[in-house]
Amino acid sequence: MIDDQTLLTKAIEARENAYCPYSKFPVGAALLCVDGTVYTGVNVENAVNGLSLCAERVALFKAISAGKREFTKIAVACNAEHCQPCGACRQVLYEHAPDLEILMGNPEGRFKRTTIRDLLPEAFSL
Ligand SMILES: [Zn+2]
């Protein structure tokens, strides 16, 4: 199984593919599936701002579209000291992985560990 530092490194490396001409704020994510596979994602922006998609959701949707349904951990990296998923990503991640662990990282490889339940208490679910 992949270790935390390696997962974060994949998120850091993924950032290089971010499409962020408007914010100039590249974000990378690396989602670990229960079977050990990893899907990366980057933020993909659009001139119509509301159409932009975050790195976390890109990684999750790639994994889901490949048939994956169980996830254990996601690493996220941006230029902040600890890259926190936005509210929309928290809700989407919670629906697919309510026990998800989150590594909020930076480009130097430091990270803060948390969980989706801590980031989104009393999440909406059906
Ligand atoms: Zn987001």
pLDDT tens by residue, 48-102: 989 999 999 999 999 999 999 999 999 999 999 999 999 999 999 999 999 999 9
Confidence of residue 1 (pLDDT cuts 50, 70, 90): confident
Would you state the pLDDT for residue 35? 98
Q: What is the pTM of this model?
A: 0.97
The answer to whether 85 and 102 have CB atoms below 8 angstroms apart is: yes
- Quote the ligand 1 centre to 92 CA distance (angstroms): 9
- CA–CA separation, 70 vs 93, rounded Å? 11
Phi/psi for 84 (5° steps) reads -90, 135
- Quote the ligand 1 centre to 91 CA distance (angstroms): 9
Residue 8 has pLDDT above 90, yes or no: yes
The residues annotated with a catalytic role in the active site are 56
- Quote the ligand 1 centre to 58 CA distance (angstroms): 9
Would you state the pLDDT for residue 126? 87
- Quote the ligand 1 centre to 3 CA distance (angstroms): 24
Three-state DSSP class for residue 62: helix
pLDDT in tens, 14-58: 999 999 999 999 999 999 999 999 999 999 999 998 999 999 999
Nearest to 45 by CA among 59, 30, 25: 25
The answer to whether 20 and 45 have CB atoms below 8 angstroms apart is: yes
Distance of CA 113 to the CA centre of its chain: 13
